[in-house]
Amino acid sequence: MVLAVVAAFVAVPYSGAALAILGAVVGWGVAAEVQVHVIVSAIALHLVANVFDTIPAVGPTLTSIISAIGSVVAGAAVLIVLRNTSKRMMP
């Protein structure tokens, strides 16, 4: 979360990749009963990230923070999907 907020104010090299990797690390420990919530949250954050863009002065910053948090959750969602797919493919 700290990286998501800092990246909204300062140019952090490779912040998108770092956020996605951090999300994948978080996704590894997600319990089975909340995996669907993580995947739906990733989709929702992606869809509504630009909503705050129209607010004067703070809109672009809020959009950047929400997009960065969405990157973390998307990284977790991708790892969940890949892990569940690999479990189903194993005999």
| Contact criterion met (CB below 8 Å) for 20 and 73 | no
- The proportion of the chain whose per-residue pLDDT surpasses 90, expressed as a percent, equals 68
Q: Is the pLDDT of residue 18 over 90?
A: yes
Integer distance in angstroms from the first to the last C-alpha of the chain? 38
**How high is the pLDDT of residue 46?**
92
Mean pLDDT of 54-70: 91
Q: What is the average pLDDT score of the chain?
A: 91
Cα 19 off chain centre by: 7
CB proximity list for 45: less than 8 A, separation 6 or greater = 66, 67, 69, 70, 73, 74
91 CB-side CA count, 13 A:
0
- Which one-letter amino acid corresponds to residue 57? A
